[in-house]
Amino acid sequence: MIRLTYLIETDGSPEKLAAKIASDQSTGTFVAVPGETEELKARVAARVVALRVLPPAQTPSFPTSAPGPFNRAEADIDFPFDAIGTDLAALMTITMGGVWSIRGFTGIRITGLLLPEEFRGAHPGPQFGLAGSRRLTGVEGRPIIGTIVKPALGLRPHETAELVKELIAADVDFIKDDEKLASPSYSPLAERVTAIMPLILDREQKTGKKVMYAFGISHADPDVMMRNHDMVLKAGGNCAVININSIGFGGMSFLRKRSGLVLHAHRNGWDLLTRHPGIGMDFSVYQQFWRLLGVDQFQINGIKVKYWEPDESFVASFKALKQPLFSPDDCPLPVAGSGQWGGQAPETYERTGRTQDLLYLCGGGIVSHPSGPAAGVRAVRQAWEAAVAGIPLEAYAKDHPELAQSLAFFGGGKAN
C-alpha cells in the first residue's frame, strides 16, 4: 500500500468526504461498465484506514455561504500498490491530482506520504548528495558557504568573472547562478562558462581546492538542457542549478540518468502549492518526489527569510530532508537561503539540531558587505564559528572586524 494523509475541512461530514477521496481517486464513482467485477474493484480500491477528528474551524479556508463551524479531520488513505506501481507521474495523478476538484471541501491539504519498500531502488536518487558535495568542495566540519550571482546586477560574462575571481580569492566554497539567470542576451550561458571556468580551474591548480559553481542549465527542451549540461561538464564544471518545477518530473528524470554534475534543486513555484494553509501539500510530501528523481542539493529558505515562509516551516523542511526515505545515501544536502547573512547562523545552528551539514547560501549577505565580497565570506564564516562555539556574535565580533561590519550593516535587514 501507498499511504497518503489528507487534512480535510468541510461544512459537512469529514467521514463521507474521506470516503469520497478514496473512491474518486481509485475506482471512480461511475455506474458499472461491462466486464467490471467486484473482485477487480476491490483489488484497486483505496481505503480509509484512519480518521482523526480535529477541533473545528470557526472560519473556512475558502469563502463559502455555509454558516460554520467547519469540521476538520486528518484521514489516512491507503492506495493499492498494484494500481500505481513506482511511476511517480501515476502516484501524483492518482493520489493527488484530482482531490482539489472534489465538491464539498472548504479546505484539503496533503500532509503525509508513506512509500512502500517497492520504491527502494526504483528511482536513481541523489548521485552525490551531502557526502559528494562535501568531497567535491573539500569542506568538512563546517557548513559549505556559498553565494549567488544575481541577474538584477546586470553583469555581463566578463563582469561576472571579475566578481567570481574576487570570491574564489576569498576562499568561498560555492557560487551559483540565480535561478532567474538562464541564458539572457547580455549573459549567454556559453559565454559565462567560458569566462568563469578558467578562473576556477586556475585556482584549483594553485591551491588544490575547486570552488563549486552551479550554472543554470534548465530548459523546457530536455535535449537543450543536456547540451547545456555537457557544455558545463566538458569545461570542467561540477554543478548545475535545476529549476525543478519548470522542467518537471520527465525533464528531471531525463537529466539525472545522464548527468555527471551535482544537481542543485531550486523549487521556484513551490509556494503556489503550499502557501495557503488550507490547500496544496506539505514540503515533507513534495520533496520525496524530487529526492527519488535524484536532486543532490535542495533549497529550502532559511531562518528569518525575506519571503513569507515562517521559521517553523524551514525547520520542518530541513528535518524532512535529513530523514532517509530508504537509505542515508538518499538524503540531499539542505540549502538555507533567501536573505541569509551571518546574523541567522546561531539560530539556524540551534534549530537544525546543532548540525553543520548544510549549504549556507548568502546573496547580498556576502556580495554587499561594506568591505566587499571577500570580507563578506569571512564574516559569514566567523558567524558560524561563533555559533558553534556558543559565543554571542557581538562578543565574537570584537576580535573579528568583518563580522563587526556585517552586524552593523546587515542588522537592519539590508542583506536581502
pLDDT in tens, 106-135: 999 999 999 999 999 999 999 999 999 999
CB atoms under 10 Å from CB of 196, counted, come to: 27
What confidence score (pLDDT) does residue 39 get?
Answer: 67
pLDDT exceeds 60 at position 416: no
Give the pLDDT band (50/70/90) at residue 35: low
Q: What is the mean pLDDT of residues 227-235?
A: 98
What pLDDT was estimated at residue 414? 54
How confident is the model at residue 58, as a pLDDT?
A: 87
What is the reported pLDDT for 415?
52
**Which domains, ranges and CATH numbers included, belong to the chain?**
2-119 (3.30.70.150), 129-410 (3.20.20.110)
Distance CA 53, CA 378 (A): 52
- Which cell is 157 given? 560574462
* pLDDT for residue 30 is more than 90: no
pLDDT attached to residue 346:
97
* pLDDT attached to residue 87: 97
| Residues 300, 319: Cα–Cα separation, whole Å | 11
Average the pLDDT over 210-221 and give the result.
97
Q: Mean pLDDT over residues 59-87, rounded?
A: 92
Average pLDDT over residues 236-242: 98
